[in-house]
């Protein structure tokens, strides 16, 4: 008769896995990221550590698509998930469903990490900045369809340049999925093919409120867009990643509207100057 205390390795690792999953399921853990790796499969792997210990972690592609920041080595985070055992290698791992920076200081740390990486890639270089059209005929706007920023933009455009057409792509500007919606909005307006310039923005708020404008997906969408983009996020003192990567940064949504809308007086003055220049040329002949 076989002794019940004897297990095959497969049986033992299976029992350990079941025990872990039963005891450490749906929990939060705090730690610092190290050995971060974004695999070509879309999954991300890293180590979560503190002063005395470390734990292997995996966040599968389906879960990490919802991330609102770019994980980097050295960032302190809080992770939600379940502890399990990778039986083939006998390795304990934390399977993560949610990942968040820990507080304002860590959000700022995430901001600085992404800023440093994009700057190193050259995405902020002036060589990539597109010139704004002097007299745009069509202005695209990506912002909340019910926000104060849109009201401010429309008010200025109607007053200064009622001849300019406006195409609104309403978007979420805060919360889960906002950065993806903003990026999709930029792509939609570019594909539309009629916009001479695009304004993206929202009113002021806290660092968390403005976080969609500090995410990599938003930054990449701006950089890849062939239509000039003005970033108009928050107030003059609010600086976001989109401000740094956009072709032009406006301190407020109202200012952005003024930049793309030379007033009728300005246009008439410019026409008058051109007529005078032409008259002088004809007189010389």
Pair 140, 227: CB distance under 8 Å = yes
Token pair, residue 8, equals 């095959």
Helices (DSSP H) in 122-226: which residue ranges?
148-160, 178-192, 216-224
CA distance 244 to 238: 11
**What's the number of CA atoms in the CB half-sphere (13 Å) around residue 243?**
19
Regarding whether 87 and 134 lie in a shared domain, the answer is: no
Q: Is residue 32 part of a domain?
A: yes
Same domain, 169 and 246: yes
- Cα–Cα distances in angstroms (integers) from residue 143 to residues 173, 187, 224, in the given order: 6, 14, 19
Same domain, residue pair 135 and 40: no
Q: Are residues 132 and 261 in the same domain?
A: yes
Segments of 39-90 assigned E as strands: 44-49, 54-59, 76-86
CATH number at residue 190: 3.40.50.261
| CA nearest to 129, candidates 5, 248, 267 | 248
pLDDT beneath 50: ranges in the chain: 1-2
Are 205 and 250 part of one and the same domain?
yes
Q: Note whether 182 and 262 are same-domain residues.
A: yes
Residues 18 and 136 in one domain: no
Backbone angles phi, psi at 38, to 5 degrees: -100, 105
- Do 65 and 184 have their domain in common? no
Residue 280 resides in a domain:
no
Which residue range(s) make up the domain with 86? 9-101
Is residue 145 domain-shared with residue 55, that is, in the same domain? Answer: no
**CA gap 214, 208 in Å, rounded:** 10
Residues 94 and 130 in one domain: no
**The pTM is what?**
0.66
Q: What is the pLDDT of residue 4?
A: 57
In a domain, 142, yes or no: yes
Residue 78 domain-assigned? Answer: yes
Tokens of 102: 């820990």
Domain membership of residue 161 (yes or no) is: yes
Residues linked to residue 100 through DSSP beta bridges, in sequence order: 78
Query: Which CATH number belongs to the domain containing residue 59 in this structure?
Result: 2.40.50.140
């Amino acid at each position: 008769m076989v002794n019940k205390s004897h297990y095959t390795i497969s049986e033992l690792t299976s029992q350990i896995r079941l025990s872990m999953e039963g005891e450490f399921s749906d929990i939060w853990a705090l730690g610092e990221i190290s050995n971060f790796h974004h695999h070509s499969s879309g999954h991300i792997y890293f180590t979560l550590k503190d002063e005395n210990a470390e734990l292997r972690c995996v966040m599968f592609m389906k879960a990490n698509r919802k991330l609102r920041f770019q994980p980097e080595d050295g960032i302190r985070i809080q992770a939600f998930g379940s502890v399990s055992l990778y039986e083939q290698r006998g390795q304990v791992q934390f399977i993560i469903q949610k990942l968040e920076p820990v507080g304002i200081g860590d959000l700022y740390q995430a901001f600085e990490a992404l800023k440093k990486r994009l700057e190193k890639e050259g995405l902020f270089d002036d060589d990539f900045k597109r010139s704004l059209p002097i007299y745009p005929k069509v202005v695209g706007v990506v912002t909340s369809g019910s926000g104060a920023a849109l009201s401010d933009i429309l008010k200025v455009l109607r007053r200064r340049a009622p001849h300019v057409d406006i195409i609104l792509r309403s978007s979420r500007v805060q919360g889960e999925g906002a950065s993806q919606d903003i990026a999709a909005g930029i792509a939609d307006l570019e594909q539309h093919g009629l916009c001479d310039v695009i304004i993206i923005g929202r009113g002021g708020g806290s660092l968390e409120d403005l976080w969609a404008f500090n995410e990599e997906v938003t930054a990449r969408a701006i950089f890849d867009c062939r239509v000039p983009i003005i970033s108009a996020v928050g107030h003059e003192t609010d600086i976001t990643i989109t401000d740094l990567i956009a072709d032009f940064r406006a301190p407020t949504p109202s200012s952005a509207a003024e930049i793309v809308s030379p007033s009728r007086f300005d246009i008439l003055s410019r026409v008058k100057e051109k007529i005078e220049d032409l008259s002088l040329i004809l007189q010389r002949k």
